[in-house]
Amino acid sequence: MHWQITTSVVSVALALSSGAAAWTKDGNGVWVANDNWYAIRGIRVHESCTHMNDGNTILRNGEFCKYWTNDAGSTAQGSCQFNPRDNSAYCQS
């Protein structure tokens, strides 16, 4: 068990330190996005408010989102929100 946790932590650390734009599972098996922003159909979208590896689907208001906040494995989670003032979709903690 200890080996699996260590492997997960090392994988996350390597992915985050390299600046890779990929989703990674946390210690509980939940897929976690990186802290990246994209333009999708004219909307500025936080990666955590998209479908993993889709590049086109924006999650609806209130849907669960989670993303890495640093290379030490810290995360933030909340729900996706759309802000019409700046035409963005973001993860509100």
Could you read off the pLDDT of 42-90 as tens digits, one per residue? 999 999 999 998 889 999 999 999 999 999 999 999 999 999 999 999 9
What is the value of pTM for the model shown?
0.75
Q: Is the pLDDT of residue 16 over 80?
A: no
What is the pLDDT at residue 60?
Answer: 97
Contact indicator for 41, 82 with CB cutoff of 8 Å: no
Domain that holds residue 73: 2-92
Count of structural domains, the chain: 1
How many angstroms separate the CA atoms of 23 and 1, rounded?
Answer: 23
Residue 75 and residue 40: Cα distance in Å, rounded?
Answer: 24
Q: Element (H or E) spanning 1, and its range?
A: none
d(CA 47, CA 65): 9
Q: Looking at residue 49, what is its pLDDT?
A: 98
